[in-house]
Structure 1
């Protein structure tokens, strides 16, 4: 059996935790008055091991890939929408383009395995493993070699960003039927009942939702998955974009970067990585709770609190982009807000 790629991910350095907390408490405000922003400031300071953390070259990377399981009509949209949306990303017309531009986030688009040949190499990172995965209703979605390569490709792309001084990174995805893949991964890695992991994705009606559940239930039975090995589960039911997300998360943590997590699929990819590298979780900030059914349960399983709950279910990294200004606010108040002593304000606490 193939082994998971090796990354060195230490626990975040907490030697400055007490000093950071004191610095936060000494700002000109009642203790705890900035709520979750104070938690954010403490976490970012610990990740960077700094009393004056900075966010350099903030970047969002969107990985796109197609899924063979889409042939079973588990999405209301045809597979062709994947490549059409990638072209929309490259043309600057998608929601993630708008939000990335608004918040001055560098946006990178990756072809992880789209069933299309693109003619825009200068705007697209070509990391294509294959023209979509296999249909996991009948056979594993990818080979171990493909899965391993996808993880390594995701890691390589993040290393390149880190070399360019990026220390805050978020990830998005695009792939018709990838909520189907993510639902199975979540079920098998958490033992949460499949029915609670399967949602409407891009807008299935009740009949479509029932069909999606039945297809996934049959696929799990067909593949006879008895292993709890994250790599085997990922190779059997995952997508190339999900596997690249796994590698991207691992490498970002190995580089000591602040990681901003998007919605359901992005969190499922993180789950795969955390099963192998538990310390990875401490590098992650969860942007929002998606409207997709399983996401809330997955966040509860991980014991994490998302920053926002806006009933979003778009993917693309859109939730991460929307939440990024909160990270900016956390860092800015920590670095620029006066202390009681500096402002000559009485501290009654």
Structure 2
């Protein structure tokens, strides 16, 4: 009974870790849904307008969307509470707020596209300035006591443990960061080059395929699911003593896995699927592409969103490893309980045979 209980506990922990991994992957997908382009020199207003013109034109057959944004440290003051927070992470965007910084809102929502009069603040900043998150329509002043002072109305409060503010800016701002969404899953690099050529933008200093990270993590959490299915199938086969029946059931399990393979591959981008499964060169090219994506991702100068993204990715890896450990433990405990039960069932028969002799 103790072994059965242990296998049930391990199975429950496996499900919990796997559920947490799936939820965290969704957060990763929310934080960075596309491709991030990084420039060391700020783009000109003409380049920004030209890119926006292309996005709205009929030439944009793929439906690409672009958001320009910047991140700086500013001071924020509340005229009502007269409190001031310094070194606040400010994110100014031109486009879609969610693409610049994806977050979960507890009150209100993010500023709309083209709205340069409202802002959204983090829960940490709301508590610092007002002692509450019920602060919709409150006024906030950025860079007070300077010539660049500007005032916004709060339209939303999002979850964050650091002081942050998100607001819309004009196209003339000094943008160095660009987010491209609705890119091709199979060939995101082609979408990037298409925008650069049409908008007359120079090659960025860094190209981060952030959406690919969510796809990689989605493939990673599929490993413990496959492992548990294989272990459970092997254990079930051992329960049947009839060899013919065992072969039929084994063939059915193998056929089920083959049928599920196309569905699993369809959830992955094309660049993650090797052209020739038996070619070592194809697998080497796939691993090289994945390594390049990780190298680019870890080499960037981190923004607030990048730090959050790395933290969520690390959690996915931890939860996935935990689910793997509990999957193996559940299978081993279940197998041990089956063997113990089989041995105990033979004991009365053996004793009775000994007495008769």
Q: TM-score, normalised by structure 2?
A: 0.24
Higher fraction of helix: 2
